[in-house]
Structure 1
Amino acid sequence: MNRFLSLIIILISCDEVQTRSPINKNPMSFIKKSATKNKLRASREQFLMNISAKNDSLNIYKSSPKGFLYSIQNGNKNERLAKKGDFVKIIYAIEDLNNNILYSANEIGNVSFLVDQEDVMPALREGVKYLSEGDSGVFIFPSYLCFGYQGDFEKIGSNQPLRIKINLLTLSKIKK
């Protein structure tokens, strides 16, 4: 009887094995959702940047092809603008869009670099190209040119557009 019962259990358990197929999600759906999310974030940042520029009665802002706004003071129209390969020395301060100082010029100190040839914040690389020696400017940058989605883990949040005041102290052409 035990053998007969064992045989029946074995036969019942030997049912055909069903293979599990993977759930196919469209791989493009993630990319489309991500692109939509990034477009919404970018338009939100642009909206906030425009409001900040309108609320600043001291400066008249122009729009750059790279997506940031800028206003130049002491614009030496006859002077040469900084360009790739130039050695620049700047001092700058970082503010949020409500003009609250996040990092003062004293905290940061003077910064020197070769334009477009050293690893500095993209906002600084792009901003100095609108300045000549002795100029200062107020720039409103989207987050992707500043600290991006990470922030700086201290005072600057994730995806935070920033107002950066840059003063170009010296500009010199490097001889090759």
Structure 2
Amino acid sequence: MKHKLLIISLAFLALASCKTPEARKPVSQNSGSFFKESVKRNQQLVAQEEERISEIIQKDTAHNYISSSDGFWYYYNQKSTQDSISPDYGDLVNFNYNISTLEGTSIYSTEEIGTREYKIDQENVFNGLRQGLKMMKEGETLTFLFPSHKAFGYYGDNEKIGRNVPIKSTITLNKITKEDKLN
């Protein structure tokens, strides 16, 4: 009898302890405030850089700056007078460029970088350089003012350019070799 009572008690406890499973509650809830703060910081950084660039442009009365729809500014050092073509996707361009601070202090000289070749939109170069080359014609030299998000951004180049550094770059497009579209 004692044995039966023990079995019935254990069975009752086992049934009583069985519940339907409950969903686990999240350890923390993300309200999105980190992302909102990050966006706000980036907007402030862009506004500060654009204000700095605007001040440089206003002081430089020797050049006629053009505002690009891609978010940077430029002027022509040497403009092509011929009806020439701009490079398209896959075209090989041969060019020289330098990089300096917005005030003109050299970071990388043309000699340090050397003559480069780049297949349009098929290799890794910084965003502003890619967009600038696509708008140039053979034989042109342009000087660009790139905010940091069009240059090397948050990470810099891990060598001479720090994080969030706007840059000035003079680019000469020497030659465009059109991609053979038949292959």
TM-score by length of 1: 0.81
Alignment match of 2:33 (pick from 29, 37, 40)? 29
Would you identify which runs of 4 or more consecutive aligned residues in structure 1 move more than 6 Å? none
Aligned: 1:91 with 2:81: no
Q: Are 2:155 and 1:155 equivalent residues in the alignment?
A: no
The 5-angstrom pairing of residues 57-68 of structure 1 reads 57-68=61-72
* CA displacement at 1:23 relative to structure 2: 7.8
CA contact (8 A) 2:71 2:150 kept: no
Bigger Cα Rg: 2
The percent identity for this pair of structures is: 35
Partner of 1:15: none
Tell me the TM-score normalised to structure 2 length.
0.79
Using the alignment, how far apart are the partners of 2:78 and 2:146 within structure 1?
A: 20
CA contact (8 A) 1:89 1:110 kept: yes
Within 2, Cα distance between the matches of 1:131 and 1:43? 27
* 1:24 Cα deviation from its structure 2 partner: 5.1
**Preserved CA contact (<8 Å) 2:95 2:173:** yes
Tell me which residue corresponds to 1:50: 54
SS of the aligned residue for 1:163 comes to strand
Residue in 2 that maps onto 1:71: 75
Unaligned stretches of 5+ residues in structure 1:
1-20
In the TM superposition, residue 56 of structure 1 has moved relative to its aligned partner by 2.5
Q: How many residues align?
A: 156
CA distance in 2, matches of 1:111, 1:49: 27
Cα distance in 1 for residues equivalent to 2:107 and 2:59: 19
